[in-house]
Structure 1
Amino acid sequence: MIFTLSVTSASSTAPDTDIFNISEVAPGIYLHKGVHVTFEDKQHDDIANIGFIIGDKCTAVIDTGGSVTIGSNLHKAIQETTDKPVCYVINTHIHFDHVLGNLSFVDEHPEFVGNETLKAEIEGNRSFFLEQYLNDLGPNPSTNSIIGPGIGVTDTKELDIGDRKLVLTAYPTAHSYSDLTVLDEKTGTLWAGDLLFRERIPSLTGDLKGWLKVMESLKTLHVSLVIPGHGTTAKNLSEAMQDQKRYLDTLLTETRQAIADGLFLDEALELIGNDEKVHWLLHEQHHKANVIKAFTGLEWE
């Protein structure tokens, strides 16, 4: 099921009017698919996959987008889809494109949920978000516009939204320092957050070896559908992870070799992962940052 919602933008970075697309990708599970653009693009606040799950009792939101505008559009889409109130807003990690829309849900008084580490990350990044994303934080932006979790997940946690159990799993440092997945047991749908990128090049801000280790653990899950943080959904999780695993393995192997060969970082930047360019969107914009993160993390291993 696919429908569109006409909305009026409140952000100076987005068009005055937009069509907010929502797809029912599994029974009761609705996805708004992000666009593949750069951080400098006017749609930078709409690059992540976000959505919601409707239970018999209430609705759980999975990520809220990169601005108050996107969060408001998502909230309006929920209200036009169901009369079940929003009881949980779940963030899969710290990055702006997944959390800055949280403010749009505050008036409904849901529980905000994330990895336990997300609490401290939000507190430590309020000023950064305000400085970097001022135009995305609504008409009266302040450090209080960035909403963190009240409930922290340290291992796993189950949420019941009415004849529907959601299993939340927190992970050690991988893509980021606060990764979390959401598994809807009723449909076998996994919201992987940015532990999985498809089409758009993966972005490494946490730990390369940790990310590869977490990917191995994800392979043990039995899911019917996986929703990545960026890119298209897939029915086969192992197959969906193949391109990302190849990229991260290449990053690991070639970075280690560059270090072993005594290369300086600026030399390594020109050599590592060049063959991957044809496989990913936005490679030019993000690959070198991944090499820098990998190199600095591996040079003293």
Structure 2
Amino acid sequence: MLRYELTEADLAGIRFGLSPLGETGLSLRAMRDPSRYPLQLPWLARTEAARERVDRELLISLVDERLWTPDFLNPRPLSPLTRFEDELDALARIGPREFRDQLTAVHGAVPPVLAGPHARAVGRLVAALREYWELCIAPYWARMRAVLEADIVHRGRVIANSGLAAMLDGLAPGVTFDGRVISVSLRSPVERTGGGRGLTLVPTMFTRRVSAPVGADETPVLMYPARGQGVLWERERIPDEASVAALLGRVRARLLVALAEPASSTELGVRFGVTTSAVNQHLRVLRDGGLVTSTRYGRSVLYLRSELGDALLGVRR
């Protein structure tokens, strides 16, 4: 059990962040044990050929049999706009003791592939992660990011409608919040307590439950499963509402149905198998007609069905 005791300052300073390096590191768990990540099997299939070209020996050595990864792969993101290269540059400067201690905390010892001179080991690590990112994550990052950003927008809506406690309680199974302490049920048998240093919440595509730093002294971070992971890789299959389709057209009607939750044009294009530019044209028409609203989040524009759109579909919230 992990317990973070949150002061008033901690509660006021709860923030969300996105970590491209963290997402890259967590994805290695799906590569090591695909059976544990059924929602990501389409991504594994799409990247199968690319994964044959990466430094698998090193990358797989970062994940143990419990699917734990060292904390240097899960840096605390400072904002939702964190860049992969910035995080990788910081990792390249990791000190020998920190590097060794974090690997030992996961594996009990430094894996042989990362033993030897520190500069050489870190150099190979950084090169392997950069290649893996470029081949297996970067081509899909815009789609992944859209899902992650939509999740953050959803959590913000929960806070606005139901309060912070409801949002924290709803992060994932095994997470509870009593107004002062957030408790997380982890597989680790070690009881840990922290707090007083803020809390960063990081949605991810590659966890089924909440994950947290391995080291007890790490700044509080909770990585939780983002909503809508599965639909990212599947085309939307929604029965057409005949009357709405006759009024708006089939594509716009399907988009309106899908926008019960925030989504970007990139994500919607993947789900419906059409180009992003075509989706944007339809979304502009729906927005101009007052059926959807839009908000900018970082570098993305997220769309959501409006009350008028709900009324048109006969939906009550």
* Fold shared by both chains (TM-score > 0.5): no
Q: TM-score, normalised by structure 2?
A: 0.25
> Which has the larger strand fraction?
1
Q: TM-score, normalised by structure 1?
A: 0.26
Name the larger-Rg structure.
2
> Which has the larger helix fraction?
2
Report 1 or 2 for greater relative contact order, CA contacts < 8 Å, sequence distance ≥ 6: 2
